[in-house]
Structure 1
Amino acid sequence: MSAKILVTGATGNFGKLTIDFLLKKGVDAANISALVRDEAKASELAAKGISLKIGDYDNYDSLLAAFQGIDKLLLVSGTDLVNRSKQQLNAVRAAKEAGVKHIIYTSFERKNETETSPIVFLAQSHIDTDNAIKASGINYTIFRNNLYLDVLPMFLGEQVLESGIYFPAGEGQAAYVSRNDLAEAAANVLISDANESKEYSMNNIENYSFQDIAETLSKITNKEIAYISPASEEYAEVLKNAGVPGEYIGMFVGFAEAIKQGEFQTDSSDLEKLLGRKPASLNDFLKQVYSK
């Protein structure tokens, strides 16, 4: 009897990729369900034979109904940062009440779990969810995901090839990983028989600084790409003058400071083992995005 898998956030990038990997790896579409808020946005999934469950993190009863008969739940962290803790705790409670046997959660890599973390706005809900999952008594796999390589273009800005990198991350390094690799690793765990509770370090096998990024981009594009790390205040001011919304400025400044402080620099990685191959490198990713 094959395990019944449910993926939340299934119309988002991570959820969609994971479902595609499950199908590629031979899981029958009949054994995969997708939690969606809006059926109209999930027609692509329905066309693949995925069963759609309508549910909303803010509506406990909808989650409880959606999780009935599910063995493995991939809880993809939500994007509503303000309400995320409450929403995800709803999901964990519903999973327990519905009898889900295993929760897989996309958490994040960190060192500082206190209020002093520059990304406390993002961190707290992950920490709350990790703790709730561990306290639930359900078997779990918690992925401590590093920063996505896929967010780098956002940090670098659209004019990076013309005006270089302007980002206040100092000499801080991070073990950036590709979303694709993380989704494949999640699919591998979902199809494995592993049922012991575990946390995995989902980091790349190398750490990169923004200076490394500038040098790699220079090689790929045959252009001299400089890296300037301004003071956070100056950076925030420049973004403000460029009309960037305040919440984005706060987020960029927070991430830059966290990178600067070494929050995402790490020498431990379970990713290669879970993939059975080397993860995509910074060079692989930048080549894909920036080489003409």
Structure 2
Amino acid sequence: MILITGATGKLGSQVIQTLIDKNVPPNQIAALVRDETKAAHLKKKGIDIRISDYDNRPALQNAMEGIDKVLLVSGLDVSKVVKQHQNVVDAAKQAGVKCLAYTSNCLRDRNTLLNQVMLTHVETEDYIIASGLNYVIFRNVLYMDSMALFMIGGKNVLETGIQLPTGEGQVAYALRSDEAEAIGNVLAGEDCRNRIYNFTGSQAYSFADVADALSELSGKTVTYTPVDMETYQASARERGVPTQTVAMMAPFMTDIKNGQASTVSSDLADALGRKPVDLKAGLKQLLNL
């Protein structure tokens, strides 16, 4: 029995679909959700719906009754996410779960990270490993989806170009759908041998590479202009981006500039059984070019 947390989210729902596609019977899949009404489509497929959230330790333990494997999809609330993850780990251990999997982030050097969100992954990984549970950690690279839709502003980039404080930093982007498929493939057959996967694309790309790919796809000249952090933050505020968000993005961009997301591994391709979607094909899909 495999329990997927965050089951109605983008990643969790795609992992569940992969498990079904891999012929895992729906009655061997459980979905952890906060709101049962949002999981009606999963229930119709025969998936067992379990109700809890990461803050409710007793309910988490009840939800894990009879579960062999748990996929902990990382939470979003930085102010309490490490404690939430610890609640899931503790509940899994108490419930006798045989394998705990976690969606972390693929980063080059944990000791020089600036982004506090990424540091929560480091703390969670350490807690899982120290727990004594058998584990699988999926270190996912920055989703190409997030880059295309949020960092460069979607199709507006064809008119505005790219202006980011990321220098020549490179990222080995992968599609969320490829990451989810790979996770599902591993969970469907993994014997949980305390393995860490670095799920990245097959090549790392700079934002100059992103601009070149967009130019080829659109037939327009799209440029990348590296800017300093002050210029980027001033421009973001002018566009109405909340001050708190602007401040949060600064270390994220600096980590990219410093090469934190540039690791390239074959783990994703191996788990997929094929090459992951590359930059040009991914942008074409995401932006309908």
Q: Which category describes the TM-score, using the shorter chain as reference length? A: over 0.9
Q: Residue deviations 1:141-180, cap 9 Å, x none? A: 1011111011112100142111111111111001111111
Q: Residue deviations 1:117-137, cap 9 Å, x none? A: 221x21222111111111111
Aligned residue in 1 for 2:17: 20
Q: Residue deviations 1:231-267, cap 9 Å, x none? A: 0111011111221012321233222211100001113
Instruction: Give unmatched runs, 5+ long, in structure 2.
Output: none
Please give the alpha-carbon distance, in whole angstroms, between the structure 2 residues aligned to 1:99 and 1:113: 31
Aligned residue in 1 for 2:267: 270
Counterparts in 2 of 1:11-50, with a 5 A limit?
A: 11-50=8-47
Aligned residue in 1 for 2:89: 92
- Identity among equivalent positions (%) equals 44
Please give the alpha-carbon distance, in whole angstroms, between the structure 2 residues aligned to 1:56 and 1:98: 16
TM-score by length of 2: 0.96
TM-score by length of 1: 0.95
Please give the alpha-carbon distance, in whole angstroms, between the structure 1 residues aligned to 2:95 and 2:288: 48
Runs of 4+ residues deviating >4 angstroms: none
Q: Say whether residues 1:73 and 2:85 are aligned partners.
A: no
Please give the alpha-carbon distance, in whole angstroms, between the structure 1 residues aligned to 2:197 and 2:184: 14
Q: Is the 8 A contact 1:220 1:291 kept in 2?
A: no
Q: Residue deviations 1:34-78, cap 9 Å, x none? A: 000111111121122111100111110010000111001011001
Equivalent position to 1:141, from 136, 139, 147: 136
Q: Say whether residues 1:198 and 2:195 are aligned partners.
A: yes
Q: Is the 8 A contact 2:32 2:52 kept in 1?
A: yes
Please give the alpha-carbon distance, in whole angstroms, between the structure 2 residues aligned to 1:11 and 1:36: 7
Please give the alpha-carbon distance, in whole angstroms, between the structure 2 residues aligned to 1:17 and 1:267: 23
Counterparts in 2 of 1:1-292, with a 5 A limit?
A: 4-114=1-111, 117-119=113-115, 121-152=116-147, 153-158=149-154, 159-292=156-289
Q: Is the 8 A contact 1:140 1:197 kept in 2?
A: yes
Please give the alpha-carbon distance, in whole angstroms, between the structure 2 residues aligned to 1:187 and 1:268: 18
Please give the alpha-carbon distance, in whole angstroms, between the structure 2 residues aligned to 1:94 and 1:264: 32
What is the CA RMSD across the aligned residues, in angstroms?
1.2
SS at match of 1:208: coil
Alignment-mate amino acid for residue 267 of structure 1:
V
Provide the aligned length of Structure 1 versus Structure 2: 287
**Residue 31 of structure 1: how far off its partner (Å):** 0.5
Q: Structure 1 residues 193, 225: closer, same or farther in 2, change over 3 A? A: closer
**Residue 193 of structure 1: how far off its partner (Å):** 4.2
Q: Is the 8 A contact 2:171 2:204 kept in 1?
A: yes
Please give the alpha-carbon distance, in whole angstroms, between the structure 2 residues aligned to 1:102 and 1:274: 18
Q: Is the 8 A contact 2:108 2:263 kept in 1?
A: no
